[in-house]
Structure 1
Amino acid sequence: MKVLILSDSHGLTTELLEIQERHKDEVDMMFHCGDSELSSNSKELISFKGVKGNCDFGSDLPNEIIEDLGGITLYMTHGHLYNVKMTLMSLKYRAMETSAKIACYGHSHIANAEMIDDVLLINPGSIRLPVMRKQKTYAILELENNVANVTFYEVNGQEFPELSKSFTLN
């Protein structure tokens, strides 16, 4: 199973449509980790399962989504409700409460994938305002058996191998 994960697009529309079009035949699902600043029924978000971010004022999107990915549970939230700019521990504990092996989040705009206590935490970065690097990024998660491959891409579709990693899920 393959899923596209992006976050913090902050009003971008053309880029969202381009990314969807580029990967629509390659991925099974698309997730937006919040701060789209678009209506939940906008054409740019129609292909995404999304959550509400701190800049999504008046949005009817949920604060969290729990999704079964072929037997592996994924938890998604924006991150502001879990203080992810300071620590990932609250997010990790929430993922564990939901029996999730994978937690996707945004908010910090820092692209990263890391394993903490058997929970894979993925922040796809921001396709508009990246932090700690100039590359505007999103990610594709590929699950095969108990292996999770996280590949990062720049907004133009070019792979960003310095961030890409593989993990074994227990």
Structure 2
Amino acid sequence: MRILIVSDSHGEEKLLHRIVEREGADHVIHCGDFCTDRDRLPRTSLTVVRGNCDWEPVPEEEYWDGGKWRFLVVHGHLHQVKTSLLPVRYRAEELGARIACFGHSHYPLCEQLGDVLLINPGSITQPRGFAHPTFAVLETESESRVRVSYFTPDGAAVPERGGIFDWKPAP
């Protein structure tokens, strides 16, 4: 399974649509601050949450079951992700999620804390503390392994981010 993870597109609908079309993912996760009308988001298999700059009535927190993998999706502003990753990790554990996707800081990171893989795809429009705008692609390689890769909006690989992560998925 191939999952596209984006965040903080801040109204750049055309760019978001180009990325979604080019990547051809099985599912798209948008971690908020899309800053457009909900009906202008790509029409695809999509999980989306509201960020601190959004006005549309979408949930502030969602979970998505992708096969044997449960994902927690939040924007991050309500979980203090600019200060610590522990609140979002603990929330993922409460929900039985093995992967937590969030945005808000505009800084790409991929880190495993305990049994939870934390993914911030960065921002496709306004990077902070990182040289490039970014998004992430998660690919399941087996029932116990995922690969996370980062790219710039034009599709260039960002090899200094991502990696391969192993553990047993929740039953």
Using structure 2 for the length normalisation, give the TM-score. 0.94
CA contact (8 A) 2:47 2:64 kept: no
Q: Which residue of 2 aligns with 1:16?
A: 16
Measured after TM superposition, the shift of residue 156 of structure 1 is 0.5
What is residue 157 of structure 1 aligned with on the other side? Answer: 155
Gaps of 5+ in 1: none
- For 1:98 and 1:149, locate their aligned partners in 2 and report how far apart those are by CA, in whole Å: 22
Structure 2 letter corresponding to 1:21: E
Map Cα deviations across residues 65-92 of structure 1 (whole Å, 9 max, x no partner): 1111111111100001101010011100
Kindly provide the amino acid, as one letter, of the partner of residue 32 in structure 2: G
Kindly provide the amino acid, as one letter, of the partner of residue 117 in structure 1.
G
Distance in 1 (CA, whole Å) between partners of 2:65 and 2:21 is 24
Query: Which secondary structure state, in structure 2, belongs to the residue aligned with residue 91 of structure 1?
Result: helix
1:51 counterpart residue number: 49
Matched-pair contact (CA < 8 Å) for 1:101–1:169: no
Contact 1:51 1:76 in 2 (8 A): yes
- Matched with 2:2 is 2
**CA-CA distance at 1:169 after TM superposition:** 2.4
Partner residue of 1:28 out of 26, 29, 50: 26
Using the TM superposition, give the Cα deviation of residue 148 of structure 1 relative to its aligned residue in structure 2, in angstroms.
1.1
CA distance in 1, matches of 2:72, 2:167: 14
Which deviations, in whole Å up to 9, do the C-alpha atoms of 1:98-157 show, x marking residues without a partner? 000000000011101000011000000000111111211000001122111000000101
Partner amino acid, structure 1, of 2:43: I
Q: CA RMSD in A?
A: 1.0
User: Separation in 2 of the partners of 1:14 and 1:103?
Assistant: 26
The total of aligned residue pairs comes to 166
Partner residue in 2 for 1:132: 129
Whole-Å separation in 1 of the counterparts to 2:167 and 2:137: 16
With structure 1 as the length reference, what TM-score do the two structures score? Answer: 0.94
Map 1:95-114; keep pairs closer than 5 Å: 95-114=92-111
Residue identity (%): 40
Structure 2: state its 5+ residue gaps. none
Contact preservation (8 Å) 1:74, 1:102: yes
Distance, in Å, in 1 between the alignment partners of 2:60 and 2:29 is 13
Amino acid at match of 1:56: D
Match of 1:63 in 2: 60
- Contact 1:40–1:46 (Cα < 8 Å) also in 2: no
